Amino acid sequence: MITRLVVFGGTGDLAARYLLPAVSALFAAGHLDSRFEMVCADRKGRSEAEFQQWVAAQLDHHAADTPVAARKATAAATRYRRADIQSSEDVAALLPDGQPVAIYLALPPALFPAAVTTLHDAGLPAGSRIVLEKPFGEDLAGAEKLNRLLAELVPERAVFRVDHFLAMTTVQNLLGSRLANRVLESVWNSAHIAEVEIIWDETLTLEGRAGYYDHVGALKDMVQNHLLQLLCLIAMEPPITLSERDLRDHKVDVLRSIRPLTDADIPHRTRRGRYLAGLIGDRGVPAYVDEQGVDAKRGAETFAEVQLMIDSWRWSGTNFVLRSGKALGADRKEVAVHFRPVPHMPFGHQGVAAPDVLRFGLDPECLSLELTAIGPTVNTLKPLTLTARMDPPELPAYGRLLLDVLHGDPSLAIRADEAEQAWRVVTPILAAWSRNLVPLAEYPAGSAGPPRSGR
Ligand code: BG6
């Protein structure tokens, strides 16, 4: 196990909201001990005392649910270093003893190529691992170039292109439900399933992340990675094992079989939008373009929806809807599997029944099955929903990811070819949107998103 984690961008939003709480959860669950150290590096040049104050404040805010002892252990394991990721001297100074390290690039994707080149020049110790946040590259050509640079730096098994959705227990449960049971797999195909919705609608707004988000937008922030990964788990063929090779080969097969959208499809199979000022519940929200750091001319979308088809024996004829939006009226984070109507309904005119829906709630975690049952009066039907809550996970998603990185298990990381295939899917959409083939619709914050006109 590697015991040294060096985080570039180590005092940013990701470190504060996800990495520090993850380390704290790992201490709480007994996965880390006093040998572990986390070095947070950036160019700001803070004093250690200032940094420790910041760490304590972030842990209080974002890891309030972990025991005090675990938070203390995290603070004790964490220290600050000033370093510029574009300076090989700075980087080399963080790798003094030749011991393998895990380098986490919690940086904007535009900095990845330069960062990888610097790590190369600085002489990364053998056995080191590198962790990159999504989106991996800014487009297909960028991802290919980055993959080439990484291949010169470390073996593919040491590259962790992370997608924290894959480490959510609720997402893992997509595989659990499908592959550890008989009942679903026999109906898991287009003969029985009409549509799968993969939805991540948030009431959350920009939350001060313009420096990242305004350069990326919802399609690259959510669909190109998280939602396509969910699609892979739902649509893949059952693998022989869940080892990194089997799992990732099968996910790549799904991505390869997604039918590319053409300019003719894109206006009616995709939607994009940007939020205006509005009310979410009783919270007043400014328009996206009025948020600090946003440049309206960049045209970043805060809502993206894409409908895809998979060209395979199993899935030909099933519609897959992938959608994510910010500042919406209600959180809806789920995979909804819509079954086809029954072929024959023997209940006469009173036998109107909605087709079955299986919902995997991703946050909050829950599983529900919407069926039709016999109603109280003769020959009538009524909806019946079976719902189960899942046990809270031992580790948050980033906790599981960090543990895999430290142990060197890349099964939940995205492989080089997988990242490129995911870009292949969204590239025609990005190109068509940049030519305004689909206008950037506006929607009030607190609404259900842009209107569906024109579909
Ligand atoms: C991140 C996206 O990867 O996932 C955010 O950048 C999004 O825009 C977030 O809000 C959702 O995941 P979580 O775990 O923060 O709810």
Q: How far is CA 148 from CA 113, 155, 436, in A?
A: 10, 11, 32
Beta carbon of 163 within 6 Å of any ligand 1 atom: no
Number of the ligand 1 atom closest to the C-alpha atom of 218: 8
Annotated binding residue at 382? no
Q: How far is CA 321 from CA 19, 47, 62, 305, 318, in A?
A: 31, 48, 32, 7, 10
Q: How far is CA 12 from CA 9, 129, 211, 239, in A?
A: 6, 21, 11, 38
Number of the ligand 1 atom closest to the C-alpha atom of 225: 3
Of 205, 222, 328, the residue with max ligand 1 atoms within 8 A of its CB, to mutate for a pocket test, comes to: 222
The answer on pLDDT for 455 being more than 60 is no
Annotated binding residue at 326? yes
Q: What residues does 159 pair with on adjacent strands?
A: 130
Q: Where are the beta strands (DSSP E) in 227-378?
A: 270-276, 278-280, 283-285, 303-309, 319-325, 332-339, 357-362, 365-374
Question: CA-CA distance, 122 to 196, in Å (whole number)?
Answer: 47
The answer on pLDDT for 454 being more than 50 is no
State mean pLDDT over 167-188: 95
Q: Is the dihedral of CA 7, 131, 62, 32 positive or negative?
A: negative
State mean pLDDT over 419-440: 98
Residue 124 alpha carbon to ligand 1 centre in Å = 30
Amino acid present at 364:
P
The answer on pLDDT for 253 being more than 80 is yes
What per-residue confidence (pLDDT) applies to 349?
65
State mean pLDDT over 95-108: 93
Question: CA-CA distance, 333 to 64, in Å (whole number)?
Answer: 24
Residue with CA at minimum distance from ligand 1 atom 16: 363
State mean pLDDT over 108-129: 94
State mean pLDDT over 431-448: 97
Beta carbon of 221 within 6 Å of any ligand 1 atom: yes
Q: Six-digit token pair at 171?
A: 């997402």
Q: What are phi and psi of 5, to 5 degrees?
A: -115, 125
Beta carbon of 202 within 6 Å of any ligand 1 atom: yes
The packing angle between helices 48-62 and 68-77, to 10°, is 150
State mean pLDDT over 11-29: 97
What per-residue confidence (pLDDT) applies to 375?
86
* CATH numbers and ranges of domains, the chain: 4-162 (3.40.50.720), 166-354+415-454 (3.30.360.10)
Q: What residues does 200 pair with on adjacent strands?
A: 324, 333
The answer on pLDDT for 163 being more than 60 is yes
| Residue positions annotated with a catalytic role | 226
Beta carbon of 204 within 6 Å of any ligand 1 atom: yes
Of 14, 169, 201, 202, the residue with max ligand 1 atoms within 8 A of its CB, to mutate for a pocket test, comes to: 202
Q: Is the dihedral of CA 297, 302, 307, 310 positive or negative?
A: positive
Q: What are phi and psi of 213, to 5 degrees?
A: -65, -35
What per-residue confidence (pLDDT) applies to 378?
78
The answer on pLDDT for 415 being more than 50 is yes
Q: How far is CA 393 from CA 16, 54, 61, in A?
A: 20, 27, 20
Annotated binding residue at 202? yes
- Give, in degrees to the nearest 5, the angle at Cα 216 between 215 and 222: 160
Number of the ligand 1 atom closest to the C-alpha atom of 397: 14
Q: Of 365, 32, 407, nearest to 169 (Cα)?
A: 365
Question: CA-CA distance, 213 to 259, in Å (whole number)?
Answer: 28
Amino acid present at 1:
M
Residue with CA at minimum distance from ligand 1 atom 8: 221
- Coil, helix or strand for 371? strand
% the chain with pLDDT above 90: 91
| Helix residue spans in 284-396 (DSSP H) | none
What per-residue confidence (pLDDT) applies to 347?
81
Number of the ligand 1 atom closest to the C-alpha atom of 226: 3
Kindly calculate the radius of gyration of the chain based on its CA atoms and give it in whole angstroms.
23
Average pLDDT score over the chain? 95
The answer on pLDDT for 5 being more than 50 is yes
Q: How far is CA 221 from CA 13, 161, 200, 265, 275, in A?
A: 15, 14, 12, 22, 16
The answer on pLDDT for 397 being more than 70 is yes
pLDDT band for 96, please (50, 70, 90 cuts): confident
pLDDT tens-digit profile of 274-312?
A: 999 999 999 999 999 999 999 999 999 999 999 999 999
What per-residue confidence (pLDDT) applies to 8?
97
Contact between 339 and 192 (Cβ < 8 Å): yes
Residue 249 alpha carbon to ligand 1 centre in Å = 26
Q: How far is CA 362 from CA 21, 172, 247, 367, 401, in A?
A: 20, 10, 21, 9, 17
